[in-house]
Amino acid sequence: MEPATPAPTIAAVAPRLLLTPLPHDGPETFAEYRARGGYDGLMRLLQDGTPEQLRREVAIAGLRGRGGAAFPTARKWELAANSGHDTRYVVANGGEHEPGSRKDRVLVERHPHAVLEGLMLAGIATGATKAWLYLIEDMHGPRAAAEQALRELDEQGLMHLPIALHLGPPTYVAGEETAALNAIEGKPAKPRKKPPFPGELGLFEKPTTVNNVETLAHTAWIARHGGAAFAAIGTTESKGTLLFTLGAEVRRPGVYELPFGTTFRQLIDDCGGGLANGRAVRAVLPAMSCGFVAAAHLDVPIAYETLRPLGSSPGCGGVRIVDDATDTVALTLEIAEFFMREQCGQCPPCRMETNQFVHILKAVQQGKGPGYQDKLQKLAEFSRKKGFCSLIEMAAAPVLSAVQCFAEDFARAAGPGTPAGS
């Protein structure tokens, strides 16, 4: 009898818009990118397209920002295009410094031209006169790839917008868009108070569009293939593909590109090869600043509209997996300590909230009794919207969801007589 042919894994059948296979380990060259239609979208736009047409295609595509906040890209571009200033700028944000997320580094290091084409398209769509590619000092591979790609673009006479490369400091908060703008201006990389938003008053006091590098690479694909082709991939409200990073918890760690609508089970089992330690999955944290998704929902399609009712979101795709042997109180404390360390100190409510989260979680760990959930909730409510940036809300999301998702663990740790969720 013929041996059964194994079904193709989701990674093998998923459309790859960004991470196309390369025959080598280095960055995709200009010639390789052109050979697969790279820069066709830009050239078509320059020959007989208009910025309005490009913005319309991106609107049809339904593309949302991949930097974490999922803001509709076409709307951001429309606001910039209509800002009424003569001088405007665009920035590609590759400031990725979230533990567990490597997708932007991998994208820039392997496919720098897709990011640069997207950056030039964003510039043309918004009427910008200069662009910056923002990376972080410790990103040696992505930096080398970007420098080579910029040299190639220049040699080909395709630099339709001056692009400068800027390296920010290696902190989490330096990836926040206004912190990135400060870094480019030579100031400390700390977030600015908003409003004004960068689209109104950004770099050097000019309207500035900041987009994540993955978002921009998607716009290059959309300019080439059309918005409708992109919108045909994914789910009702979540279009296209998303880059996910899997860490050492799975047998095959790496960055995977999958369409929205893929399930966490497919991501973990088909792409990651299952948990490396052979244990069962108890929950998933789609990104550091999201809510935990319990294992009962592993077959829910990953999308903005499906994770929202579960108190989570796809985030930036730096997936963390909690197995059934994980000390969930210690994990939550580790996350809270990360945010306490990384907050930049400018806003007293953020300093207070992140410090107090750690204090309360340490008390739970030491068995010092009930009341923790109420205290954490009140702290988060008090702090909401009181920071210059959304780190203040990002720090609260995993902590508040952990005490619900792992209610029994917290009650047990907090000591005798503590009911779950007290």
Ligand X SMILES: Cc1cc2nc3c(=O)[nH]c(=O)nc-3n(C[C@H](O)[C@H](O)[C@H](O)COP(=O)(O)O)c2cc1C
Q: Which residues of the chain form contacts with ligand X (CB under 6 A)?
A: 65-69, 71, 93, 95-97, 172-173, 175-177, 210-212, 215, 389-391
Q: How far is the CB of 159 from ligand X (least distance, A)?
A: 22
Dist. CA 375–CA 400, nearest whole Å:
10
* 32-to-83, 117, 148, 151, 215 alpha-carbon distances in Å: 37, 14, 13, 15, 21
Residue whose pair of structure tokens reads 């590759």 in the numeric block: 94
Q: How far is the CB of 71 from ligand SF4 (least distance, A)?
A: 18
From the list ligand X, ligand SF4, none, pick the one residue 240 interacts with, judged by a Cβ distance below 5 to 8 Å according to partner type: none
Q: How far is the CB of 174 from ligand SF4 (least distance, A)?
A: 11
Q: How far is the CB of 309 from ligand X (least distance, A)?
A: 22
3-state secondary structure of 15: coil
- Residue with Cβ nearer ligand X (172 or 410): 172
* 389-to-192, 263, 398 alpha-carbon distances in Å: 8, 31, 17
8 A C-beta contact, residue 251 and residue 274: yes
Surface-to-core class of residue 404, CB atoms within 10 Å of its CB (0-12 exposed, 13-18 middle, 19+ buried):
middle
- Residue with Cβ nearer ligand SF4 (270 or 342): 342
Looking at beta carbons, which residue is closest to ligand SF4?
387
Q: How far is the CB of 128 from ligand X (least distance, A)?
A: 15
Dist. CA 80–CA 206, nearest whole Å:
10
Q: Which helix (H) or strand (E) holds 339?
A: helix 328-342
Q: How far is the CB of 287 from ligand SF4 (least distance, A)?
A: 17
From the list ligand SF4, ligand X, none, pick the one residue 392 interacts with, judged by a Cβ distance below 5 to 8 Å according to partner type: ligand SF4
Q: How far is the CB of 366 from ligand SF4 (least distance, A)?
A: 27
Q: Is the preceding peptide bond at 27 cis, omega within 30 degrees of 0?
A: no
Task: Tell which positions 124-183 bind ligand SF4, by CB under 6 A.
Answer: 173
From the list ligand SF4, ligand X, none, pick the one residue 68 interacts with, judged by a Cβ distance below 5 to 8 Å according to partner type: ligand X
Q: How far is the CB of 383 from ligand SF4 (least distance, A)?
A: 9
Residue 164: strand pairing partners: 132
Instruction: Tell me the one-letter amino acid at 283.
Output: A
- Residue with Cβ nearer ligand X (10 or 107): 107
From the list ligand X, ligand SF4, none, pick the one residue 387 interacts with, judged by a Cβ distance below 5 to 8 Å according to partner type: ligand SF4
CA dihedral of 120, 14, 229, 92, whole degrees rounded to 10 = -20
From the list ligand X, ligand SF4, none, pick the one residue 347 interacts with, judged by a Cβ distance below 5 to 8 Å according to partner type: ligand SF4
Task: Tell which positions 349-368 bind ligand SF4, by CB under 6 A.
Answer: 350
- Residue with Cβ nearer ligand X (19 or 210): 210
> Which candidate, 102, 167, 89, places its Cα nearest to that of 128?
89
- Residue with Cβ nearer ligand X (71 or 382): 71
Any contact of residue 250 with ligand SF4 (CB under 6 A)?
Answer: no
Residue whose pair of structure tokens reads 């799975």 in the numeric block: 250
- Residue with Cβ nearer ligand X (211 or 418): 211
8 A C-beta contact, residue 112 and residue 19: no
- Residue with Cβ nearer ligand SF4 (173 or 287): 173
Residue whose pair of structure tokens reads 């995977």 in the numeric block: 256
**Residues 191, 198, 199, 259: which binds ligand SF4 (CB under 6 A)?**
191
**Residues 38, 41, 387, 398: which binds ligand SF4 (CB under 6 A)?**
387
From the list ligand X, ligand SF4, none, pick the one residue 372 interacts with, judged by a Cβ distance below 5 to 8 Å according to partner type: none
What does the DSSP assignment read for 231-276?
HTSB-SS-BSEEEEEE-TTBSS-EEEEEETT-BHHIIIIIIT-SBT
Q: How far is the CB of 95 from ligand SF4 (least distance, A)?
A: 14
Q: Which residues of 344-379 are buried (b: 16+ CB within 10 A; e: fewer)?
A: bebbeebbebbebbbebbebbbeeeebebbebbeeb
From the list ligand X, ligand SF4, none, pick the one residue 215 interacts with, judged by a Cβ distance below 5 to 8 Å according to partner type: ligand X
Q: Which residues bind ligand SF4 (CB under 6 A)?
A: 173, 191, 343-347, 350, 387-389, 391-392
